[in-house]
Amino acid sequence: MNNILLTGGAGYIGSHTALALHKAGYQPIVLDDLSHGHEWAVKYGPLVRGDMGDVELVRSICKEYQPVAMIHFAAFIEVSESVRDPTKYMNNNYRKAAKLFETAESEGIRHTVFSSTAAVYGTPQHDNPITENDRLAPINPYGESKLAAEKALRERVGISSVALRYFNAAGAAPESGLGEAHDPETHLIPNIILAGLGRKPALNIFGADYPTPDGTAIRDYIHVLDLASAHIAALEYLLTGGKNIACNLGTGNGNSVKSVISAAEKELGHEVPKNFHPRRAGDPPRLVADNALAKKLLNWSPRHNLSEIVSSAVAWHKQNMEKTNL
């Protein structure tokens, strides 16, 4: 009885979590429509290709594999696209997710770990690390859709759940053939590497006049393997009787855009071409997690630093050029 339903398990964080599940003795059952995930990323357990909103498909998976819990990743994640097409995001990230939770509950799944986001907080009203008690006020449809899904999950009285609010996922597991390959790629670290490897003409930097030590925005970058280990910790918290909670996942340390670029350039061995642009609307100067709750309740702590994040990402991109030729 160690099967875990993993929706979106062919995606970036989902595939690394499947690796962590495998190492922890669980069997991931991956449900993914491969609209953004990759078949090559499913290395542990069966892949069922399909839509998480397909009630009959989810029921058939539950009947065949009898998962003891679910980890739900499947979602659209591009903020700018959510602004252009909010209906798409609310339909997929909220409405389909709510139907999935209802179906899972009816099929006897009693525990769910939910992939949420720091975007539920919107623009903080302070520069301190963000706690779970901070105001929930998303400023884009992506954040709104994730917050709505969190609420829908909590409403399923037959399911105990942990909502994990990620900060900036980064890094890779090159030794396992896993890494980040989004299309389009909107994350800083892979974009630095793609520009440094000549796959993009230049890195675009938005804002160099923030009230920070070097003028660029500060973010909390967390290794994807640390995120994956947090999902195992959350799963085991629920399986041993834990109650509904939401937890931030970050390192508690901030790094500026320029400092991340410097770390990547050191690993690449040369400078990366850059273009500076004005700030984007809604980008706060500093977003850093207070991760004390996850440390306390899940007995979890991040293990990787920025240098390890960057070196793992560079190694994976160099080894998998064909997979990032998007």
- In this structure, what token pair is assigned to residue 310? 């960057």
Annotated catalytic, 142? yes
Residue at 75: amino acid letter: A
What would the 3-class secondary structure string for the chain be? CCEEEEECCCCHHHHHHHHHHHHCCCEEEEEECCCCCCHHHCCCCCEEECCCCCHHHHHHHHHHHCCCEEEECCCCCCHHHHHHCHHHHHHHHHHHHHHHHHHHHHCCCCEEEEEEEHHHHCCCCCCCCECCCCCCCCCCHHHHHHHHHHHHHHCCCCCEEEEEEECEEECCEHHHCECCCCCCCCCHHHHHHHHHCCCCCCEEEECCCCCCCCCCCEECEEEHHHHHHHHHHHHHHHHCCCCCEEEEECCCCCEEHHHHHHHHHHHHCCCCCEEEECCCCCCCCEECECCHHHHHHCCCCCCCCHHHHHHHHHHHHHHCHHHHCC
**Burial class of residue 155 in the structure, from the number of CB atoms within 10 Å of its CB (0-12 exposed, 13-18 middle, 19+ buried):** exposed
Cβ 31 vs Cβ 52: under 8 Å: yes
Catalytic residue among 142, 166, 210, 221: 142
Neighbours of 81 (CB within 10 A): 17
DSSP bridge partners of 48: 31
Catalytic residues: 142
